[in-house]
Chain A
Amino acid sequence: MQNTFFAKNPSILIFIGLLALFTLFVTVGSEATGMGFISTSFVKTLGKTLCLCLIALAMDLVWGYIGILSLGHFAFFGLGGYMIGMWLMYERTRDIVMGSLMNAALPPTPTEIRDAIGGQIFGVVGSNQFPAVWAFAHSLPLQLILVVLVPGLLALVFGWLAFRSRVTGVYLSILTQAMTLALSLYLYQNESGLRGNNGLSGLQNLPHLDAVPQSLISIWFFWASALALALGYLLCAWVVSGKFGSVIRGIRDDEQRVRFMGYSVEGYKLFVFVLTAVIAGIAGALYYPQAGIINPGEMAPIASIYLAVWVAIGGRGRLYGAVLGAAFVSLVSTWFTGGQVPSIPLGFYTVDWVDWWLVLLGLSFVLVTLFAPQGIGGLVDLIAGKLAPNRHGAPLGPDQGSLREEEAEK
């Protein structure tokens, strides 16, 4: 079965192979493990990009395959980031606090330690008490479980309520966006217990590993992100390959028809929604330690809209399209907004790309939607010569015995 799975989906092996080559290239080029022509900050950018590719895969599954235009997946991404950030911040602060308390005359009591850590972390929001949500922050395994559990449960509850009432289309998109906005606004409050608009910071410093330089940590995270992307790709490809893939594409195209075949459409939607939320959470948990900081602004609705734009530009309904779109647009975006692109002086006005990049992005989104609905992924079809002559199976010649389009040599 393994053989036929890869034989039927050759794009999977090509994708994994290219990703491995890319990982090897970055490893050889990085400062810590290679020749050093790729800077540590750029390794981090690439690692973050891989995480964005992973959430784009999730978006493609939920939008391109089952047809739910979710504008809320960055909420799950952010939640994953918060869950890992809590442990990173707690443990690192504990290291620092322990270091300073060691010099005291009397050994500190556990309560003193806890209060000192609380004071350090929550001083910025005028508190020194741990809120209830930090109950498991001392334990890495528990917080790692929460990385999966919290986005998954939120998606389960939200999805159950939304799908059960048969909310579809644009109304569902608005609901998901409202969920993201509500979550973001809630986290902005200091009472939410996650440091309000300060968010969690210093996440790039791994606890107990002060001796390890950032250049090495960055390549570790890059590897982890590449591995997660490869596994995520395999998982998504497997999910969409068999009968399950048939059913969810059927739901996208005509959910009423699928219902009359006896499939519980709501169950399938819920399954895919939760699965993609979990993937998004894992992507976020890998992204934010590389970014170093997370705050509620990351979950603003605009982030989830960007996600939809990436997938649309990359080509929805095909997994590698989503990855290509996310990588291409987010890297180009980094390039344009980083101020490295020369401005264009027009005499009367100077086009400064930091300001005009969003206009360019919006314009390309509109153009892709109108003229190339297959997105960047459509280029692959062109290269592979798979572009159908669009005759709908008509004979290629006037005679009765002439070849039909699908029989002819490509």
Chain B
Amino acid sequence: MSQLLEVSGVSVSFDGFKAINNLSFSIGEAEMRAIIGPNGAGKTTFMDIVTGKTKPNAGTVLWGEMSRNLIGMNEAKIARIGVGRKFQRPTVFEDQSVFDNLMMAVKNTRAPWSVLFFKPKFKDIAKVEELASEIGLSDQLKRKSGELSHGQKQWLEIGMLLAQDPRLLLVDEPAAGMTLAEREHTTDILKRTAKTRAVVVVEHDMEFVRRLECKVTVLHEGSVLAEGSLDHVTANPQVIEVYLGR
């Protein structure tokens, strides 16, 4: 099976500190992957590299059938070719309505000139409504997103991510600060998404990872320590030592 994203031999250091050290990682189309690791393992830096926020010192990040190198592209371009990212802290535009937030994210031409003359077509509005019902915010479309609860903001951001119609979703701690019921809903959304797209979830919470029922990659000190099913990696003595044993 061809891979959607192939990260190979990537290293990056900040002032001499190696945040990522010769990391290799790959994920195929329609696959769910969880990344776990202790604080400072390089999880967020990894996402920064894939999304173009951080330039690595060495290595390649290859994307899609054409194996295009993502390194050197800017964030907006990478987002346009199909990499979506959700931040740990929910970042929605609180000053604007849920509808506007989603409409901004719905896949359409992103150039200033065409956005200026943009008029939402029927299919765009239908798309927003469909997403809103998927994330359980149908009744809240007119509300300012700043008024939403923390969990609803997390979902709104996941909805915005889906609206972009990405081929790869990078999701940073989607369940942080959610109640148990909200977590279950979030798991459902992610699992459903992973049937058609690649989803990478960075998570601390083992229970949440277990519920995702997917392959797990353990990062430690900027490189892959173990990979496999959750039971497999949690049985690994090295993993127990650096992460679980404490």
Contact = CB atoms under 8 A, between A and B. Distances in A.
Given A244-B116, A257-B87, A250 B79 contact: no
Interface in A225-256: 239, 242-244, 246-247, 249-250, 253-254, 256
Interface of B: 51, 53, 74-77, 79-80, 84-85, 87, 91, 93-96, 100-101, 103-105, 110-113, 115-116, 118-120, 143, 147, 160, 164
Interface in A1-34: 1
Interface of A: 1, 239, 242-244, 246-247, 249-250, 253-254, 256-257, 259-265, 267-268, 271, 392-393, 406
B143 A250 contact: no
Contacts, number: 81
A247 B91 CA distance: 14
A250 B100 CA distance: 10
B115 A247 contact: yes
A149 B233 CA distance: 64
A244 B110 CA distance: 10
A362 to B, nearest CB: 29
- Interface residues of A: mostly helix, strand, loop or mixed? helix
Which 4 residue pairs across A and B have the least CB separation, nearest first?
A262-B79, A262-B80, A259-B75, A393-B147
Contact of A260 (B79, B94, B112, B119): B79
Given A257-B91, A260-B75, A393 B119 contact: no
Nearest to B81: A262
Contacts of B116: 239, 242, 244, 271
Contacts of A250: 93, 96, 104
B132 to A, nearest CB: 16
B93 A267 contact: no
Nearest to B101: A246
Contacts of A243: 100, 103-104, 115, 118, 120
Contacts of A259: 74-76, 79
Given A268-B112, A271-B116, 10 more contacts: A242-B118, A243-B103, A244-B116, A246-B101, A259-B75, A260-B51, A261-B79, A261-B110, A262-B76, A264-B112
A279 to B, nearest CB: 15
